[in-house]
Amino acid sequence: MVAVNNKVRLDIEQGVAVISIDSPPVNALSHAVREGIYNGVNQALADDSVGGIVVLCEGRTFIAGADISEFGSAPKEPHLHTILEALDQSTKPVVAAIHGTALGGGLETALCCNYRIASANAKFGLPEVHLGLLPGAGGTQRLPRIVGVEKALSMVTSGAPIGAEDALKTGLIDLMAGEDLRANAIDFIRDKAAIGGDHPRVRDNQEKLSSSVPNEEIFAGVRKMIARKTRGFLAPEYNIQCIEAAVSKPFDEGMKTEGKLFMELMSGAQSKAQQYFFFAERQASKVDGIDKTTPELQIAKVGVIGGGLMGGGIAMNMANVGIPVTIVETNQTALDRGLGTIRKNYENTASKGRLRLEDVETRCNLINGALDVDALADCDLIIEAVFENMAVKKDIFSRLDVVAKPTAILASNTSALDLNEIAQATSRPESVIGLHFFSPANVMKLLEIVRGDKTSDSVIKTCMAFAKKIKKVATLVGVCPGFVGNRILFMRQHQANLVALEGAPVSQVDKVLFDFGFPMGAFQMADLAGLDLGWDKDNSNSETVKDRLCEMGRCGQKTRSGFYDYDDSRRPAPSAVVADLIADHAQKTGVIQRQISDQEILDRCILPMVNEGAKILEEGIAMRASDIDVVYVYGYGWPIYRGGPMHYANSLGLSEVVAKLRAYQQQTGDDFWEPSPLLVSLAEQGGQF
C-alpha cells in the first residue's frame, strides 16, 4: 500500500492498481484529492505489475463533484482537466467503482474511465445547473455520447440524478455490482486487462448523438418545456448550448465551447449567488450555542390541530415520510373535508405518475382524524394550525397543557403572533416552539422555526433535526411580529402600496417585481393570499385601499376580483375600477400622483427589505444574514440567482444601499427610510453582511 497523499491511497492487488479517495464528507475534488488521483494514476501507469486501474471512494459516497469551497480562489495544478486527460488517455484500462452519488466533476471523472460499475443504490447526476454552472470538465460532451441527447439534456437542465437501474439501461454504467463493489471492480478490470485490445472511450462514441427524433426538435422541445421554470436563469440555456455543440461539433471543438461557456457562467453574478446559497442553505441547519450532548427527543407520532389548507398540508409532510399523524378538527364536516382534500391531493399526484397508487393508500392510512384534543395524548409533537387569533391559540395551548404527555413538543404554526404569549398559556413554556410552515405546506421547502424566550435547547435541536426528516430547510429565528419572513415582507408591501398610491399602476409594480425574478408581484400575491386576511369587516372604515376593496367584496382571487380582475382560470387582468379607486384614495389622502420609474419601484420595494433584514440581525432575531436569504429564497420566491436580500445588498455594495436609503428618506421625508445602524456601520467599514 502506498499513501499517495493524505486523501488518496494506492493499493496494488492482483495486478490491479486501486486508487481510493478518502476525503470526507463527500470526497469533493479538492486540490489534495486531484493531486492524489493524478499521482496515483501516473504511478499505476509506470508500474509494470499493473494491468488495470480501479478508481473508488471510501466513506459515504463516490466523488460528489468539484470542491465548491475552492471556487473563487486561484486554481492550482493539477487541474481537473489534467487528471481527466490522464484517465482518458490511460494506456491501461480504468474502471470507476461507484457507490453513493457520482455528481458533477465526480461523474465527469467516471466518464473519463473506460468502464463504470456501481452499487445498486448509486446515483449519477450533473447538478451544476443548481450552482448556476454547467459541467465544465467534459460532462456536456461525454454524457450525450453515452446516454443519448434527450436524456443528457434532461439531466443537465434539471440537475436531477438518475438511479443505478436507469444508468444501466441507458449505458451509463457497464455493470451493477453485488455486495462487494471493490472486489467486483478488481475482478472486472483484471478480466478486461486480460482480454486486452482497445478499451472504449466515451469521447469516441458517436452513435448516440443522433436518434429517430431530429435533434433540432429535441432541443426546441426542451427549451419550451423548461422556459417557465427557468425564467431569468442563464445556466439552463448554456447547458443546452453545450449539448448542441456536442452534437454539431467534433469532440475537441465541443470541449472548447463548454470551456468558454463554463467560464462565462463561473465569472457571472448568478453563479456566485447560487454557490453562496449552496453553503447558506447548509449553514442554516447549524445552531450555535447548543451543547452537543443536548438530548434529541424521539418523534414517532404527530398531532395537528386544524384540518384546513395548512393543517392538511402539514399532516401530509408527516405521512410522506411514514410518520403517523392525527388531525383534530372541531366538527365532523370539517374533518371529512380536510381528510378528503388530502386524499384528493395524493390522488392528483398519482394521476400525474408521481406517486404509486399503493402509496396513496399507505399515506392516507397514516393520517387519522379526531374531534377532540384528547386524541393527541400519545403524540410526541403537536402542531397547532388554526387561524391567527391569539385568544383561540391560547385556549388550545392551555388544553394541550393538560392533555399532552410531559415530553411532548407543543408547536404553533403562527406566522406572526407572539409565541411567548402563546407559551405562557401553558405550564411548560420550555416545550413550546413555533413551526411556521409555508403554504402549501406539503410543497414549500421552508420551515421557520421560532425559538421562544423559554424554549429548551433540546426542543430546538429536536425540531431542527425533525425538519430535515420531513425534507424541509429550517431556519431558526427569534420572536418578533412576523418573525423574519413576514416582517420583511410587510416592508415590501408597505412600499408597494405607497408607490401605487403615488401613481404607479399595480400592474407596473408587479411587473417590476416579476422581472426581478419573483414568481409574482406584491399585488398578485396579496390577491392570492386574500385581501380580507386580517381585515375587520365590522369595523372597516375605508381607511386604506385594501379596506375599500374588501368593502366592495373584492377580496382577491377567491372572489375573482381584488387588485386585479380574474377570469375562471384565475388569470389576472388590470382593473379600471381599482385604478380609479386608488386615484380617488390618493386625492382624499392628499397624495399627488405622478409617473414612477421602474428603478424607483424596484428600489422602494427591495431596499426596505434589506434594511429590515439588517435590523433583524441587529436584534438577534436571525442568527446570520444568510439565514434571512434562505427564508427568502425558499419561503417567498426570491430568485436564487440573486442569492437572497442580504446577498443582493452585498452585491450592490452596502454604501450604495445606504446612499439610496438616505436619498429616499430625503425625497419622502419619511423616517421609514432611516438606515439601520448595523447597515451604516458595515457600509462605513467597507464590510458585508
Cβ distance 128 to 227 under 8 Å? no
Q: What is the Cα–Cα distance from 574 to 94, expressed in whole angstroms?
A: 63
Judged by CB under 6 A, does residue 105 bind ligand 3H9? Answer: yes
Q: What is the Cα–Cα distance from 583 to 589, expressed in whole angstroms?
A: 10
Judged by CB under 6 A, does residue 101 bind ligand 3H9? Answer: yes
**What does the block give as the cell for 50?**
499493473
Cβ distance 464 to 474 under 8 Å? yes
> Which residue, 104 or 311, is less far from ligand 3H9 as judged by CB?
104
Q: What is the Cα–Cα distance from 322 to 363, expressed in whole angstroms?
A: 7
* 3-state secondary structure (DSSP) of residue 95: strand
Q: How many residues bind ligand 3H9 (CB under 6 A)?
A: 25
Given 231, 282, 471, 570, the residue binding ligand 3H9 (CB under 6 A):
282
Binding window for ligand 3H9 (CB under 6 A); candidates: 63-71, 164-172, 326-334, 507-515: 63-71
Helix (H) or strand (E) holding 477: strand 473-477
Given 36, 40, 51, 135, the residue binding ligand 3H9 (CB under 6 A):
135
Judged by CB under 6 A, does residue 26 bind ligand 3H9? Answer: yes
> Which residue, 285 or 540, is less far from ligand 3H9 as judged by CB?
285
Binding window for ligand 3H9 (CB under 6 A); candidates: 82-90, 132-140, 539-547, 678-686: 132-140
Mention every residue, 6+ apart, whose C-beta is less than 8 A from residue 617.
Answer: 624, 625, 628, 678, 689
Binding window for ligand 3H9 (CB under 6 A); candidates: 124-132, 191-199, 383-391, 674-682: 124-132
Judged by CB under 6 A, does residue 137 bind ligand 3H9? Answer: yes
User: Least distance from C-beta 445 to ligand 3H9, angstroms?
Assistant: 14
Cβ distance 142 to 216 under 8 Å? no
Binding window for ligand 3H9 (CB under 6 A); candidates: 98-106, 208-216, 455-463, 621-629: 98-106
Judged by CB under 6 A, does residue 66 bind ligand 3H9? Answer: yes
> Which residue, 426 or 475, is less far from ligand 3H9 as judged by CB?
475
> Which residue, 88 or 108, is less far from ligand 3H9 as judged by CB?
108
User: Least distance from C-beta 619 to ligand 3H9, angstroms?
Assistant: 26
Mention every residue, 6+ apart, whose C-beta is less than 8 A from residue 679.
Answer: 610, 611, 614, 649, 654, 657, 658, 661
Tell me which residues in 315-354 interact with ligand 3H9 (CB under 6 A): none
Given 18, 21, 41, 108, the residue binding ligand 3H9 (CB under 6 A):
108
* 3-state secondary structure (DSSP) of residue 295: coil
Q: What is the Cα–Cα distance from 292 to 566, expressed in whole angstroms?
A: 53
**What does the block give as the cell for 658?**
445606504
* Alpha helix (H) residue ranges in 196-268: 215-226, 235-248, 251-266
Q: Cite the beta strand spans of 137-193 per DSSP E.
A: 162-163, 175-176
> Which residue, 141 or 486, is less far from ligand 3H9 as judged by CB?
141
> Which residue, 262 or 673, is less far from ligand 3H9 as judged by CB?
262
Judged by CB under 6 A, does residue 639 bind ligand 3H9? Answer: no
Judged by CB under 6 A, does residue 104 bind ligand 3H9? Answer: yes
Judged by CB under 6 A, does residue 127 bind ligand 3H9? Answer: yes
User: Least distance from C-beta 172 to ligand 3H9, angstroms?
Assistant: 16
Q: Taking the CB of residue 440, how many other CB atoms lie within 10 A of it?
A: 13
Binding window for ligand 3H9 (CB under 6 A); candidates: 102-110, 113-121, 171-179, 353-361: 102-110
Nearest one of 366, 431, 427, 373 to 401, comparing CA atoms: 427
User: Least distance from C-beta 376 to ligand 3H9, angstroms?
Assistant: 32
Q: What is the Cα–Cα distance from 436 to 285, expressed in whole angstroms?
A: 15
Judged by CB under 6 A, does residue 131 bind ligand 3H9? Answer: yes
Judged by CB under 6 A, does residue 471 bind ligand 3H9? Answer: no
Judged by CB under 6 A, does residue 88 bind ligand 3H9? Answer: no
Instruction: Give catalytic residues, as residue numbers.
Output: 108, 128
Cβ distance 236 to 643 under 8 Å? no
* 3-state secondary structure (DSSP) of residue 186: helix
> Which residue, 143 or 496, is less far from ligand 3H9 as judged by CB?
143
Q: What is the Cα–Cα distance from 397 to 264, expressed in whole angstroms?
A: 55
Cβ distance 478 to 619 under 8 Å? yes
> Which residue, 105 or 303, is less far from ligand 3H9 as judged by CB?
105
Whole-number Cα distances in Å, 675 to 481, 638, 671, 682: 20, 22, 9, 11
Site residues (vs ligand 3H9, CB under 6 A): 25-26, 28, 61, 64-69, 80, 101, 103-105, 108, 127-128, 131, 135-137, 139, 279, 282
